[in-house]
Chain A
Amino acid sequence: MPECVICAAEVTVDASTIKGELIECKDCGTELEVVGVDPVELAEAPTEQEDWGQ
């Protein structure tokens, strides 16, 4: 099972995952991006700089 790149917690990734999928680490809340699928490889997702907020 892949691990969170920040806290090393195990991260559940669906078998049908796709490159670019974003997953939140349930332990530390870090947003992780699937950067490889065979095998599954995770990286910390880049922070969105753009704010469309209200």
Chain B
Amino acid sequence: MNTATDYQQIQQRYEFDVYPKRDITFVRGEGCRVWDDTGKEYLDCAAGHGVVNVGHCNTAVVEAIQRQAEKLITCPGTYYNDAKAQLLEKLASITPDGLNRSFLCNSGAEAIEAAIKFARATTGRTKFVCANRSFHGRTMGALSATFSKAYKDSFEPLVPGFEFTPYNNIEALGAAVTNETAAVILEPVLGEGGVYVGDHDYLQAARNICDKSGALLIFDEIQTGFCRTGKMFASMHAEVIPDMMCVAKAIAGGLPMGAVICGQKVEVSIGSHGSTFGGNPICCAAANAAIEYMVANKLDENAASLGSQLVTRLNDANLSRVREIRGVGLMIGIELRTKARPFVMQLLEEGVITLPTGATVIRLLPPLTITQEEITHLEERLTSCFT
């Protein structure tokens, strides 16, 4: 039988690795906790990069997967399917009015990729305006819409026609969008870019600018969606309805799934796009269970109240190492005065998983099922670390 060290050696030998590795092998998860192969318990405030909003191994999701696995695992997009139909109806019911037709795929990057193609096909235009500090994914189209050169340098040339303007700068956005712009692509809250919350005026202005120029408005709600920010979708705070909303991460309770939820303006011809695994019955069943759980357990309200409480208490603690705390709901960025990574490693050692973003920001994306007791524990660890 393999030991934990063996698993690490096997991965080191056979994985074509693109991630730096920590010397930890995770083997189990439940709710907001994960355990490594030595039995050490961690409070997971990364949630697989914001994936398990309903908690690790959520019972409702697990049971839905088990039931569906015994019925039908795969079904091509050319045929109808009960689990898929239920999910499409559910997505239309939780998104703003007018967003009622979804293309289902397997990831956030795929959703962005599809949205770029849909915008080109709908408008006949090829230019896109995105934001400084944006992150939309690592496939060639999504990477072209991503700001940071660090992600792009090795892969140039990318898709042409992408321009970037400062986030929350209405004037710059207005100047960049022309009658050649196919779409504006924005995150309502910049995640990987450092957790910067979009001003409501900025997001509303983006809607108006797009309407005047004939461009489409695409919101990337991949990280912000599904109750993360205290509402089902972050753009609901600003009451702005995009033409396409890209979602993924938390949609299926931890299984890989993405979607582009489209408004009436968006049109592409049948046969012009597709996905072999997109909308497969197992992921649809998991997503149905995850969304039902989010709604029934009011995870939006839990994210809003516990996120606000945590930020207030951390601010009140006047932590000497902290420059600023930003965020909304349980999407929180703690900007430090010095490098974040040593503190990420210290917290990991103490059994708290967090994420660095940029050089100085620690990002918190815990499962939205996190309890008062767990939030208090997190607050104590952070306060101790940053004092």
Pairs A–B under 8 Å by Cβ, sample size 25: A17-B337, A18-B337, A18-B338, A20-B338, A21-B337, A21-B338, A22-B337, A22-B338, A22-B359, A22-B360, A45-B359, A48-B339, A48-B341, A50-B341, A51-B20, A51-B150, A51-B151, A52-B357, A53-B151, A53-B192, A54-B49, A54-B108, A54-B135, A54-B191, A54-B192
- The answer to whether B223 touches A48, judged by C-beta atoms less than 8 angstroms apart, is no
Interchain nearest-CB distance for A51 vs B (Å)? 7
Most B CB contacts (10 A, CB to CB) among A18, A50, A51 go to A51
Total cross-chain contacts (CB, 8 A): 39
Which residues of chain A come closer than 8 Å to B356, judged between CB atoms? 52
Contacts of B10-59 to chain A: CB distance below 8 A:
19-20, 49-50
Closest CB in chain A relative to B172 CB, distance in Å: 15
B355 at the A interface (CB under 8 A): yes
Enumerate the 3 nearest inter-chain pairs by beta-carbon distance, A residue then B residue, closest first: A54-B49, A20-B338, A21-B337
Among B191, B223, B359, the residue within 8 A (CB) of A31 is: B359
Contacts of B150 in A (CB 8 A): 47, 51
Q: How far is the CA of A53 from the CA of B361 in the complex (A)?
A: 13
The prevalent SS among residues of A at the interface is: loop
A17 to B, closest residue via Cβ:
B337
Q: Mark B132-175, 1 if CB is under 8 A from A, else 0.
A: 00010000000000000011000000000000000000000000
* A7-25 interface bits toward B, Cβ cutoff 8 Å, 1 = contact, 0 = none: 0000000000110111000
Chain A residue nearest to B223 (CB atoms) is: A54
| A52-B359 in contact (CB<8A) | no
| Residue positions of B touching A, CB distance < 8 A | 19-20, 49-50, 108, 135, 150-151, 191-192, 223, 337-339, 341, 355-357, 359-360
List residues of A whose CB falls within 8 A of some B CB.
Answer: 17-18, 20-22, 31, 45, 47-48, 50-54
Residues B337 and A50 in contact, CB atoms below 8 Å apart = no
Nearest CB of A to B34, in Å: 16
Q: How far in angstroms is the closest Cβ of chain B from A16?
A: 9
Contact of B355 among A18, A20, A52 (CB under 8 A): A52
**A54 — which chain B residues lie within 8 A by C-beta?**
49-50, 108, 135, 191-192, 223
How far is it, in angstroms, between the C-alpha of A10 and the C-alpha of B72 when the chains are bound?
Answer: 65
- Shortest distance in angstroms between A9's beta carbon and chain B's nearest beta carbon? 18
If A22-B337, A51-B19 are given as contacts, then 18 extra A-B residue pairs at C-beta distance below 8 Å, sorted by A number, are A18-B338, A20-B339, A21-B337, A21-B338, A22-B338, A22-B339, A22-B360, A45-B359, A47-B150, A48-B359, A50-B341, A51-B20, A52-B19, A52-B20, A53-B135, A53-B151, A54-B191, A54-B223
**A22 nearest CB across to chain B (Å):** 5
A50: B residues at CB distance < 8 A:
20, 341
Contacts of A22 in B (CB 8 A): 337-339, 359-360
CA distance A21 to B323 in the complex (A): 10
A2 to B75, CA, bound (A): 64
Q: Which residues of the partner chain B approach A45 to less than 8 Å between Cβ atoms? A: 359
Bound CA–CA A17/B150 (angstroms): 28
Query: Closest CB-CB distance, A52 to chain B, in whole Å?
Result: 6
Residues in B whose Cβ lies below 8 Å from that of A31 = 359
Distance between A49 CB and nearest chain B CB, rounded to angstroms = 8
- Listed residue (B135, B223, B359) with the most chain A CB atoms within 10 angstroms of its CB: B359
Q: In the complex, what distance in Å separates the CA atom of A31 from the CA atom of B194?
A: 14
User: In the bound complex, what is the Cα–Cα distance between A17 and B135 (angstroms)?
Assistant: 31
Q: Report the nearest A residue to B355, measured CB to CB.
A: A52
Shortest distance in angstroms between A45's beta carbon and chain B's nearest beta carbon? 7
A18 contacts across to B, CB distance below 8 A:
337-338
| A19 to B239 CA separation, bound complex (whole angstroms) | 44
* Measured CA separation A45–B171 after assembly (Å): 31
Q: How far is the CA of A52 from the CA of B354 in the complex (A)?
A: 11
